[in-house]
Structure 1
Amino acid sequence: MISMADTDNYYDLTIIGGGPVGMFAATYARMHMAKTQIIESLDTLGGQVSALFPAKTLYDIPAYYQTTGKELIENLTEQTTAFKPDVFLGETVTSFSQTELGFEIKTTKRTTYSKAIILACGIGSFEPRKLRVASAAQFEGTKLHYFITDPSIFAGHDIAVAGGGDSAIDWALELAPIAKSVTVIHRRDKFRALESSMTKLEQQDNVSLLTPYTIKDFAQTSTDKLAVTLQKSRETTQEVCDFDDLIVNYGFTSSNNLIESWGLEMERHEIKVSEKQATSMPGVYAIGDTAYKEGRPALIASGMGEAPTAVNNALLYVYPDRRQPAHSTELMLKYKQ
């Protein structure tokens, strides 16, 4: 016999993935008063948008002529936080299995339980390409950064940004107005970033470019600076530059091997879903870039539209006799009551 205590240990919905689509799914679930948790493998909400292109201008977000990735995540975070789902960061789901009440979910930190699951995993797990320098690990999180969650901590600092793609240049542009100086280090003379971004960067008085250089080593100085040893490409001569912080953006590696191990029907390395966003496993739904539908465009807007469909159908699965109001006005009246 199932006790009320057993039921209380279960979330109604678990959203796996804390990117824009997962955040909105959690918001909409909480509008329904569903007991909801978000599990995100990164140390911050925002997923790929926060990690890969926070300063990039986006033109395909409904209701915005244009916005940046950073602004989008800030607004979504404010909205999501207002509805108070439980949020677990820096935690990766390794497996889940069916139970009498729903699912047992195992993560890298704990075991948790949920009556239904919504997968919003994007392209799968991804992590930054790290510097292959022996001394790197001891400076990670203090003077060496692969993610930026709070740009204000770099105010008044001499900063080096390593990388030549859009994300690296976006961060250089984002930090230039508050930093004392920004030095962009790239192993080639030619950058991969948008020409318009490079033009903006070159117009900044406190920004300089160091090319073609690679980072060979670094150490802490007596004045608490980071002494970065640089070597010019195809040459043996080296030079040392001092910075307060080094931000490395060499891109990310992604893998959906973990997702493929969950036993769901796949199509082109994505999770095949029905019109209800249901996967091949009852009680499990998928939305966003991790979900496969023929003809589906890989846009944030597409995933946002799929989130309410998945939430409504997941809650209908959990509570088949409960009518699910669909409109936000009706939902908010119920939520406030």
Structure 2
Amino acid sequence: MSSEYDLTIIGGGPVGMFAAFYAGMRNARVQLLESLPELGGQVQALYPEKMIHDVAGYPAIKGRDLVAQLKAQLDQFPIDIRLNSAVTDVTGAMGDFTITTVDGQQSHTKAVIVATGSGAFEPRRLAVDNATDFENQELFYHIPDMEQFTDKTVLVAGGGDSAIDMALMLEKVAKTVYIMHRRDRFRGMEHNVDLLKASSVQIKTPFLIKEMTRTENDQVQLTMKEVRGTAEEQLTVDKLIVNYGFIADNKVISNWQVTPTMEHRLINVDTQMNTDIPGIAAIGDTVAYPGKLGLIASGFGEAPNAVNQLMMTIYPERRSPLHSTTLFEKNSK
């Protein structure tokens, strides 16, 4: 049975998008499958306003803008993009895998690249009894639109780079910004912490939110309790952003009939991004190997590696071009 596609990229986050683009440069017949209703993965769904600083060539770029640039790259090639298409099963073998998606559709592909990131995800929610009463009104788990925080008093809860980035972004538009962390020391990169301490953002540590009450003015009165202590503080804000990370799950992969070996919910790969299943590679946050860094920049480097080695396996008679200029010259003829 002949395959409909040379490569199927499973996962439409930034790394999956770049892999599909690079496969397009290799003249591969490509489909890109994404479980969410839009491309961009966690960057687009959770951090569209976050400034990203580790992408080569950009001193800083908003998450949504990075996704838009990646989409512009994709649009140069006839890549089949299917949204709302979670993969429920992979069967077959190298040269003719069958991909089944949640809507029951099936397609055939010679090889597969798994770029599902951390898998299905949802934010770690605030552990306060009535927190759901405030969600998407005063309580948010990401910043969908900066303008709704203009001239507001805002508290960001969290201590990592994402929380610090959010606080520094909000400083430019909000009236007052606080950041609360349960430890005295922040977990962000040293430069980010230095920027935070030099900013006007007011730091509250080490505290956790104990209670929250809506006031008559539609503000939120927060009771913050000292960690490993008895002290309490009250703070009234217009908006609360909780950035405690997210809960991710890649268990859907373990339900496939053809399943790469996984440890601690991550796929084991070799230096060429091959899994232990011939014809299936994996890249991005979903993989584990010695020295792996959980950066978008790392995933961008892994994508061409995976595409090239699979294309060489599928088409051994084709010589892999060394430079992108060579690829574009070839495709323009």
Give the counterpart letter for 2:223 in structure 1.
L
Q: Alpha-carbon deviations, 1:272-331, whole Å to 9, x = none?
A: 445653333343221234345556666544433332232234456666777765643343
Distance 1:195 1:38, change over 3 A: same
Distance 1:139 1:188, change over 3 A: same
Q: Could you say which residue in structure 2 is the equivalent of 1:74?
A: 65
Distance 1:194 1:30, change over 3 A: closer
**Aligned pairs (5 A) from 1:128-167:** 128-167=123-162
**Secondary structure in structure 2 of the residue aligned to 1:215:** strand
Task: Give the deviation of 1:24 after TM superposition.
Answer: 1.4
Q: Could you say which residue in structure 1 is the equivalent of 2:74?
A: 83
Q: Could you say which residue in structure 1 is the equivalent of 2:113?
A: 118
**Secondary structure in structure 2 of the residue aligned to 1:121:** coil
Q: Could you say which residue in structure 2 is the equivalent of 1:265?
A: 261
Distance 1:159 1:110, change over 3 A: farther
Distance 1:314 1:153, change over 3 A: farther
Q: Could you say which residue in structure 1 is the equivalent of 2:164?
A: 169
In structure 1, how many angstroms separate the alpha carbons of the residues matched to 2:156 and 2:183? Answer: 14
Q: Could you say which residue in structure 1 is the equivalent of 2:8?
A: 14
* Structure 1 position 308 matched with structure 2 position 301: no
Task: Give the deviation of 1:230 after TM superposition.
Answer: 1.3
**Secondary structure in structure 2 of the residue aligned to 1:278:** coil
In structure 1, how many angstroms separate the alpha carbons of the residues matched to 2:209 and 2:84? Answer: 28
Q: Which stretch of the first structure deviates more once superposed, 173-182 or 263-272?
A: 263-272
Q: Alpha-carbon deviations, 1:215-258, whole Å to 9, x = none?
A: 234455554x3423314334486745131x22101233344444
Task: Give the deviation of 1:130 after TM superposition.
Answer: 0.7
Cα pair 1:161 1:168 within 8 Å, conserved: yes
Q: Could you say which residue in structure 1 is the equivalent of 2:24?
A: 30
Task: Give the deviation of 1:118 after TM superposition.
Answer: 0.7
**Secondary structure in structure 1 of the residue aligned to 2:275:** coil
Cα pair 1:46 1:73 within 8 Å, conserved: no
Q: Could you say which residue in structure 1 is the equivalent of 2:179?
A: 184
Distance 1:226 1:17, change over 3 A: farther
Distance 1:96 1:150, change over 3 A: farther
Give the counterpart letter for 1:328 in structure 2.
S
Q: Could you say which residue in structure 2 is the equivalent of 1:248?
A: 242
**Secondary structure in structure 2 of the residue aligned to 1:179:** coil
Q: Could you say which residue in structure 2 is the equivalent of 1:200?
A: 195
Task: Give the deviation of 1:45 after TM superposition.
Answer: 1.5
Cα pair 1:50 1:73 within 8 Å, conserved: no
Give the counterpart letter for 2:40 in structure 1.
L
Distance 1:88 1:214, change over 3 A: farther
In structure 2, how many angstroms separate the alpha carbons of the residues matched to 1:217 and 1:86? Answer: 48
In structure 1, how many angstroms separate the alpha carbons of the residues matched to 2:196 and 2:52? Answer: 13
* Structure 1 position 39 matched with structure 2 position 51: no
In structure 1, how many angstroms separate the alpha carbons of the residues matched to 2:104 and 2:128? Answer: 32
Cα pair 2:7 2:28 within 8 Å, conserved: no
The normalised TM-score by structure 2 is: 0.74
Task: Give the deviation of 1:119 after TM superposition.
Answer: 0.9
Gaps of 5+ in 1: none
Distance 1:327 1:38, change over 3 A: farther
Q: Could you say which residue in structure 2 is the equivalent of 1:328?
A: 324
Distance 1:221 1:90, change over 3 A: farther
The normalised TM-score by structure 1 is: 0.73
**Secondary structure in structure 2 of the residue aligned to 1:102:** strand
**Secondary structure in structure 1 of the residue aligned to 2:199:** coil
**Secondary structure in structure 2 of the residue aligned to 1:201:** helix
In structure 2, how many angstroms separate the alpha carbons of the residues matched to 1:303 and 1:176? Answer: 31
For 1:279, which of 275, 278, 290 is the aligned residue?
275
How many residues align structurally? 322
Task: Give the deviation of 1:57 after TM superposition.
Answer: 4.2
Task: Give the deviation of 1:26 after TM superposition.
Answer: 1.6
Task: Give the deviation of 1:42 after TM superposition.
Answer: 9.3
In structure 2, how many angstroms separate the alpha carbons of the residues matched to 1:166 and 1:294? Answer: 24
* Structure 1 position 104 matched with structure 2 position 95: no
Percent of aligned pairs sharing the same letter: 38
Q: Alpha-carbon deviations, 1:59-104, whole Å to 9, x = none?
A: xx5556xx34x45773454133342355566765443333995322
For 1:227, which of 210, 217, 220 is the aligned residue?
220
Cα RMSD of the aligned pairs, angstroms, is 4.1
Gaps of 5+ in 2: none
**Secondary structure in structure 1 of the residue aligned to 2:125:** coil
Distance 1:118 1:226, change over 3 A: farther
